[in-house]
Amino acid sequence: MPIKNMKSLGARFGNGEKPKSGVDADAVRELAGLLTETGLTEIEIEHNGARIRVARQVGQAIVHAPATAATPAAAAAEAPAAPKGPHPGAVPSPMVGTVYVAPEPGKPPFVKVGDTVKEGDTLFIVEAMKTMNPITAPRGGKIVEINVTDAQPVEFGQTLLVIA
């Protein structure tokens, strides 16, 4: 949804006229469409003291397998269960924002898979509220996994990369 349409949406929502139901259903539908279009999970607009917030929950898939009796040999052949929680070398995003993998467009990325980093080396930049925040390596090691792409929106706590 272009910005000028967002402004008209805000103006229509906050024009001082209250819909009979108390909610402008068309404004909610437009915001829900914007959530889907952008991949956001929540959006809120305020105009002339009127506020509307639309959020969606991202469901987690639950897979049910048929129950079978495991024989001792089959139980021994199964791989050990994956550890719960983030990888011990995971570097999470300390804030919500947009991640950039290079110091500026057209330049090489700060790090690539296979690179060795020292504690304090810059890994990414996360832009939040027009402020560029360097994300540094909390420890030294080898980059084994990068979980983000350039100019991707990130959430607080989202794993950006893994250092082994």
- In degrees, rounded to 5, the angle at the alpha carbon of residue 151 between the alpha carbons of residues 149 and 156 is 80
pLDDT tens for 4-23 read: 455 555 555 555 454 445 56
Q: pLDDT at position 27, please?
A: 76
Q: Residue 109 belongs to a domain with what CATH number?
A: 2.40.50.100
State the alpha helices, DSSP H only, in the chain.
3-13, 25-38, 72-77
Both 40 and 108 in one domain: the answer is no
Of 50-54, 71-75, 77-81, 119-123, the range with the highest mean pLDDT is 119-123
- 51 lies in the same domain as 106: no
Query: Which residue did the predictor score with more confidence, 81 or 54?
Result: 54
Percent of the chain with pLDDT over 70: 65
The 10 Å CB-count burial string (b at 16+, else e) for 99-123 is bbbeeeeeeeebbeeeeebeeeeeb
Mean pLDDT for 98-106 is 94
Mean predicted confidence (pLDDT) in 81-93:
76
Tokens, residue 84: 């719960």
CB 111 within 8 A of CB 161: yes
Query: Is residue 29 included in any domain, yes or no?
Result: yes
Looking at per-residue confidence, does 87 or 116 come out higher?
A: 116
Q: How many domains does the chain have?
A: 2
State the pLDDT at residue 7.
54
Q: How confident is the model at residue 153 (pLDDT cuts 50, 70, 90)?
A: very high
Q: What's the pLDDT score for residue 69?
A: 47
The answer as to whether 50 is a domain residue is: yes
Mean pLDDT within 21-42: 73
Phi, psi (degrees; rounded to nearest 5) at 53: -130, 130
Q: pLDDT at position 134, please?
A: 96
Asked if 93 and 45 sit in the same domain, the reply is no
pLDDT at residue 23 in the model: 62
For range 75-96, the mean pLDDT:
72
Expressed as residue numbers, the domain containing 105 is 87-163
What is the model's pTM? Answer: 0.50
**Same domain flag for 91 and 49:** no
Going by C-alpha positions, the residue among 129, 115, 126 that lies closest to residue 162 is 115
